[in-house]
Amino acid sequence: MAVTMDELLAREEMRDVLHRYCKGIDRRDWALVRSCFADDHVHKHATIEGSADDFVRMASAVLSTIPATHHTIGNMHFAFAEDGLSAETEANFVAYHLIEAGHTEGTPVPTGGKATDWIVAGRYCDRFEKRDGKWIIVRRQAYHDWERFDPANI
């Protein structure tokens, strides 16, 4: 099946949205994170199910105890609707989180008060729609395929 120029451009625009999301999370730029999602967005990630604003509140609270994160995206797959105005995507991610020593409460994994590396690998399964000429995420189901936490060597 031949890929059209419009589809190639759409793929790059969707990749850009996902890269902005990672940058926003890693820089704690919550406005940038929020800009990746439509106002009527539905988000399912870990224990949260709700709106984009619900997700941003949860993520900012969790990451308040985590001074450094690094999110990467790869292996993106696209399935376009026939009208070319929506697409289902699946993107693998790996997210590294450094939890500082001394945090014993409010951390997402047990640390025993020690500096801890928490690594999560999974998939962002998104529905994108083209609205007002731009691609935006209208639904996300995030899966944690595996995760681990170990004492950090810092």
Q: 64-105 pLDDT, tens per residue?
A: 878 899 999 999 999 999 998 999 999 999 999 999 888 766
The C-alpha atoms of residue 147 and residue 117 are separated, in whole angstroms, by 10
The C-alpha atoms of residue 140 and residue 148 are separated, in whole angstroms, by 23
Beta bridge partners of 74: 92
As a whole number, mean pLDDT of residues 104-123 equals: 87
Per-residue pLDDT, 64: 84
Per-residue pLDDT, 138: 98
Residues in Cβ contact with 62 at an 8 Å cutoff, skipping those fewer than 6 apart: 108
Per-residue confidence at 40, pLDDT binned at 50, 70, 90? very high
DSSP secondary structure code for residue 65 in this structure: T
Output the pTM of the full model.
0.92
Q: What are the structural domains, with CATH classification, of the chain?
A: 5-151 (3.10.450.50)
Q: 1-28 pLDDT, tens per residue?
A: 678 899 999 999 999 999 999 999 999 9
Q: Which helix (H) or strand (E) holds 154?
A: none
